[in-house]
Structure 1
Amino acid sequence: MTDRLAFLILCLLAPQASARTFEVGPSKPFEAIGEVPWERLQAGDTVRIHWRPEAYREKWSIGAEGTETAPVHVLGIPNEKGDLPVIEGRDAVTRPELDCPGGPRSVIRVGSFNAKSADQTVVPRHVVIENLEIRGARPPNRFTGRDGETPYLKHAAGIHIAEGFAVTVRGCVIHDCGNGLMSGGSETLVEGCHIFGNGNPGSLYEHNIYTSGSGMIFQGNRLGPLRKGCPGNNLKDRSAGLVVRCNWIEGGNRQLDLVDANEHHAPLSREPRYRETIVFGNVLIEPASDGNSQIVHYGGDSGQEEFYRNGTLRFYHNTVLSFRKGQTTLFCLAGSGGTVDCRNNLVWLANPHAQLQLGTGQGRLLIAGNWLPERCSPGPGAPKSPEITGLSSSRHGRDPGFLDPVRFDFRLPRTGSAAHGTALALPDNFLKAHAPDFQYEVHQRRTARPPETRHLPGALVQIGD
């Protein structure tokens, strides 16, 4: 009996209360990811996938049920240079014993199994996927599964959370897929990831991130431009209870496309938190010739207004940087029942001849305590402009006093900035739930932001001397 087989038998016969560790990689008990008994993982188990020079050409499904104190952890172990283990979807194989649905839609799938050796009633809970580089889930790439060689679908994702509660994706790099990450789970956390270079050429329907769940949180992520020639959005969301905080979001048809749950996800539209969307502390970058001119789209896109968000987008302490030569539009509001509460943001146009348009569409737009460009207009005029109030409390200027914009250092100094004192107090109920005590740190990290800097607009301030 080989050492590897003996280890596998020992793991499978271990008492259910004992957390186990499965080591995958060169000279480890498991040489291939598919050798791990994925259909038998239990609370507290950890799968450690070690870096190796060649990519792991494998794909699999995670259907385990962890607990809050003992999650199921899938952990990539980098090499000494910090390189993550690579999971390659192109020419990947998946173990035939795992008859998992939706194979052509992902490299890593989180969802219940359809395998004789698995508990088909289990919905994954408390699963952590960390420190993996995932790529290759898109046409014309193919994989070998239960139906033989199979092409990926256009909307295939590097990670697809088909269902699940309290799933965390942390520190992963996802690129060269149709959609980078898709989620329909609840209470999902995505943090510290680098997601870029996804999409399909000429298609508006695939994005770096596409989510429709309950309780989505994105924090500390770096979301880069999509693949060349791919006109999808950077982060497209149809969720209830969405929080987007302290991220770096660069490019896309729109940086944020926050639309309706539509008839396919109607229960989400009935959740109370569907009516409040939180976006704060982000750096949103509009390249010179990328996508349309809109930064944020809020409300809906299905044409069925009964499903539109029709609530409040709280857009606080964000830094918006546009390199367009012409007009940049900050908000596009869809539906007459929506409100954007836009406070304490900093909008900067690199080109002195460019212009900012605050909003287009319907609904209401509160503009308060922001630093805005000198060349700034409310909107295109009735009936294509939202109702705008509070604009007189914002400041207008050309140079807010960034530390070093030439080197992409868009922090404001703690004192001496032209933008000093622009920001206003935020609502108490927001501060209790989402106090802006952190800021994005280049790259994929968050650092503490002192409360005494809240008088400065935007997402980034100088910390220390």
Structure 2
Amino acid sequence: MVNHPSYSTTFVYGNILIEPDGAGNSQIIHYGGDSGTTSEYRKSTLYLYNNTIISSRSGNTTLVRLSTNDESAQVFNNILYNTANGNNFAMIDENGILSLFNNWMPTNWRDCHCTTNGTVTDLGNNIEGTDPQFTNFATQDFTLQPSSAVIDNGTTLLPAVLPENDLLQQYVIHQNFESKPNESTLDMGAFEYCGINGCNIVFVNGFE
């Protein structure tokens, strides 16, 4: 597996990721490796885009642990929401190179809950706030209210993720999916808002 051409690059998109309070590990994602044999770590790029990522931890949360400074992450078009104070939410855990753009993020987020050896770069067009305006957080309906600031504030997908990892489907509760609406401008997060006039739908396998 280590020698497979696709081993070094990873695409994570369209997910609802929930970090509950009391979970033993405060890092939502770990990318690279954990065997201690760093020569076998992935040593390339994690593309993390159009996910809705929730932490209900009362303490600190870290978005991603990058194992070494040879691992990097391109983080864009996500909603990164925590129920604690914004300064409880950090992007990396000590190592790695992470770039952020076109995300919704908690106000007062931090690079790291540590003295970091890595780098976090804000490339712009991120929105900071306290409420991304989900339809109903209590029932885990993370679709968007019409007034949400994330609507139409995503960016076009990077050439590196296309065409194999395009956004063709979106999640339906529970453990199901539907064709993702094809709007002219992407929203941040895992769900595309359609508005009162409905959406243009791209059917993955012809008409449904």
The answer to whether the aligner puts 1:419 opposite 2:123 as a matched pair is no
- Comparing 447-456 with 362-371, greater Cα deviation is found at 447-456
1:397 aligns with 2:132: no
Letter in 1 for 2:71: G
2:71 paired residue number:
338
- State the distance in 2 between where 1:443 and 1:464 align: 23
Q: 2-side partners of 1:316 and 1:420: how far apart?
A: 15
Name 1:279's counterpart in structure 2.
Answer: 12
Deviation at 1:409, TM superposition (A): 0.9
1:360–1:385 Cα contact (<8 Å) kept? no
Structure 2 equivalent of residue 434 of structure 1: 165
Q: For 1:44-443, list aligned pairs within 5 A.
A: 268-352=1-85, 355-382=88-115, 384-413=116-145, 415-443=146-174
CA 1:370/1:385 → structure 2, altered by over 3 Å: closer, same or farther? farther
- Closer, same or farther: CA 339–295 of 1 in aligned 2, 3 Å: same
Instruction: Give the Cα–Cα distance (whole angstroms) in 2 for the partners of residues 385 and 281 of structure 1.
Output: 30
Distance 2:194 2:179 in 1: 8
Amino acid at match of 1:355: N
2:135 and 2:192 map into 1 onto residues whose CA distance is: 9
- Check whether the contact 1:280–1:318 (CA below 8 A) recurs between aligned residues: yes
User: Are 1:370 and 1:457, in contact at CA under 8 Å, matched by a contact in 2?
Assistant: yes
Cα separation, 2, equivalents of 1:396 and 1:447: 29
Q: Distance in 2 between matches of 1:420 and 1:463?
A: 9
Unaligned runs of 5+ residues in structure 1 are 1-267
| CA displacement 1:46-74 (0-9 Å, x = unmatched) | xxxxxxxxxxxxxxxxxxxxxxxxxxxxx
Contact preservation (8 Å) 1:453, 1:461: no
Deviations 1:11-38 (A, max 9, x none): xxxxxxxxxxxxxxxxxxxxxxxxxxxx
Where does residue 205 of structure 2 map in the other structure?
A: none
8 Å Cα contact 2:86/2:106 also seen in 1 = no
2:181 corresponding residue in structure 1: 450
Q: CA deviation at 1:306?
A: 0.7
The letter of the residue matching 1:388 is V
Q: How far 1:417 moved relative to its partner?
A: 1.3
Alignment partner of 2:186: what SS? coil
Q: Give the aligned CA root-mean-square deviation in angstroms.
A: 1.9
Asked if 1:460 is matched to 2:180, the reply is: no
User: Structure 1 residues 400 and 352 mapped into 2: Cα distance closer, same or farther (>3 Å)?
Assistant: same
User: What is the DSSP-based 3-state SS (H/G/I as helix, E as strand, rest coil) of the residue aligned with 1:272?
Assistant: coil
Q: 1:455 deviation in Å? A: 2.5
Deviation at 1:381, TM superposition (A): 5.0
Report the 3-state secondary structure (helix = DSSP H, G, I; strand = E; otherwise coil) of the residue aligned with 1:403: strand
Classify 1:436/1:408 alpha carbon distance in 2 versus 1 (closer, same or farther; 3 Å).
same
Distance 1:328 1:453 in 2: 33
Q: Relative to 1, partners in 2 of residues 1:385 and 1:283: Cα closer, same or farther, differing over 3 Å? A: farther
How far apart in 2 are the matches of 1:359 and 1:376?
Answer: 11
Does 452-461 or 438-447 show the bigger shift?
452-461
Instruction: Give how far 1:401 is off.
Output: 1.4
Give the structure with higher Rg (CA): 1
TM-score normalised to structure 1 length: 0.40
Distance, in Å, in 2 between the alignment partners of 1:386 and 1:354 is: 18
Does the 8 Å contact 2:61/2:88 carry over to 1? yes
Between the aligned partners of 1:301 and 1:443, the Cα distance in structure 2 is 31
SS in 2 for 1:393: coil
Q: Which TM-score applies when normalising by structure 2?
A: 0.86
Map 1:22-41 → 2, pairs under 5 A: none
Does the aligned pair in 2 maintain the 1:411–1:462 contact within 8 Å? yes
Which structure dedicates a bigger proportion of its chain to helix? 1
Q: C-alpha distance in 2, partners of 1:389/1:302? A: 28
| Cα pair distance change 1:443/1:453, threshold 3 Å | farther
Using the TM superposition, give the Cα deviation of residue 464 of structure 1 relative to its aligned residue in structure 2, in angstroms: 6.7
Residues in 2 aligned to 1:357 and 1:344: alpha-carbon distance in whole angstroms: 17
Residues 27 and 61 of structure 2 are in contact (CA less than 8 Å); yes or no, is this contact kept in structure 1? yes
Q: CA deviation at 1:270?
A: 1.6
**3-state SS in 2 of match to 1:406:** helix
Tell me the SS of whatever aligns to 1:269.
Answer: coil
The offset of 1:292, in angstroms, is 1.5
